[in-house]
Every structure is written in C-alpha cells, then in structure tokens.
A and B are shown apart, each in its own frame.
Chain A
Amino acid sequence: QVQLVQSGAEVKKPGASVKVSCKASGYTFTSYYMHWVRQAPGQGLEWMGIINPSGGSTSYAQKFQGRVTMTRDTSTSTVYMELSSLRSEDTAVYYCAREVSLDYWGQGTLVTVSS
C-alpha cells in the first residue's frame, strides 16, 4: 500500500533553516510528482511547490521562491523540502502529497519557529 512517512517535529529559531523529509513506499517512486503543502495553526492549506522525482525538476510558488528547495534521493525514495530564513509565520504543519490530485498524503511535520 502507498505510504508517505515524514520526519519528526522540529523547533527552530528565526533565521534558521529546516529540512523535512518524506519517504515513499508502495509504488514506483519516480512515476509520480510530489507536492509540499503547509497549514498554519487554524488556517487553510497552502501549496508550496512540486518536484518531479524522476528528473528532479521543481516548480515553486512565487511566495516561497528563493527560500525553498525541494530535492529527492531516488536510492531511498525520499523527497526533501528545505525552507530557509525562517520566521514566526512559517510555524505550520508541512505535508508531502503525491500526484496532481494529491491522492496520498504524509502524516505531516510540525515546524515551530520561535525565539
């Protein structure tokens, strides 16, 4: 069965960076795009960007351009999302989700940015 397992919660100081991982299993990793979506406390869903695990190409929402980097490791079927220059407004649960229709989601990773 398809599973997306994310790394654990993180606490970071303003200005730091965070790198969240998402390990895929149960399907051919390189055959499906992967999205990253975040959700601030009590708020809605916000799309950050997408990566093609096959070639590694990416597309980011303009809001995050210059601060976000999405990468993948095909040897471990894992995608990564790194967000830099963190500020308090980046406190959120970060999700990976598969394919155009986001048919499978990771369990979420809480990133807390606090001094």
Chain B
Amino acid sequence: SYVLTQPPSVSVAPGKTARITCGGNNIGSKSVHWYQQKPGQAPVLVVYDDSDRPSGIPERFSGSNSGNTATLTISRVEAGDEADYYCQVWDSSSDPLCVFGGGTKLTVL
C-alpha cells in the first residue's frame, strides 16, 4: 500500500509561517489534498489538487507538490489555525485506493 508520512507536530508563533510536509514515493506525480480538523469537528478541505483552494478558504493557505514531498504552507498564522492537518492522495494501483497521512498537530505558540 502507498504510505504518506507527516511529522506528528509542528509549532509556530502567531504571524509566522507554518510548513507541514507530506512525504510519499514520487508523490509529485499524484494530486494531493489537505484537510484541517479541529477538535470535535469533521475535517474541512483546505487545499485540493496540490495547490487550489476551495471557496471560503483564506489565501494564507497554499500548497505545493514536487518529487517525494508535498507541502502545506500557512502564512501569517493565527490562533484559529491550531488544528490537525491531514494530507491525502488517490492511488488507483494501491489498496486502499484513498490514502491519508498520519496527521500533523499544528500548535500556535
């Protein structure tokens, strides 16, 4: 099965930039989606197809994907950005077809 590797935690001061990585074998050839999940809530899509934002998601959220690493970047971090973040890809040659990373807890200091 295809494996996505995320750091368990990332810490950042308010106003700074947070970068959350998602590693996978040749992940640059796949479309990566990112989700934000706050405690007790369902996940919310924040970036899709590597770098596109759904309507209503601030421009502070951006994504990139190349080689073996995809990255979610959150600029000018706010206290309200504190959450768990998950990357996800679709791999039609693998089981399961839909794979999530283990998640990264973003802490705003």
A61 to B95, CA, bound (A): 6
B42 touches A61 (CB 8 A): no
A35 to B101, CA, bound (A): 17
A106 to B97, CA, bound (A): 20
A108 to B45, CA, bound (A): 15
A44 CB within 8 Å of chain B: yes
Range class of the A interface residue count: 20 to 34
Give the top 3 A-B pairs by smallest Cβ distance, nearest first: A61-B96, A47-B98, A105-B42
* Residues of B participating in the A interface, judged by any CB pair closer than 8 Å: 31, 33, 35, 37, 42-45, 48-49, 54, 86, 88, 90, 95-103
* Residues of A participating in the B interface, judged by any CB pair closer than 8 Å: 35, 37, 44-47, 50, 59, 61-63, 95, 97, 100-108
A35-B98, A37-B100 known; 14 other A-B pairs, CB under 8 Å?
A: A44-B86, A44-B102, A45-B37, A46-B100, A47-B97, A62-B95, A62-B96, A101-B31, A101-B48, A102-B35, A102-B45, A103-B48, A105-B42, A108-B42
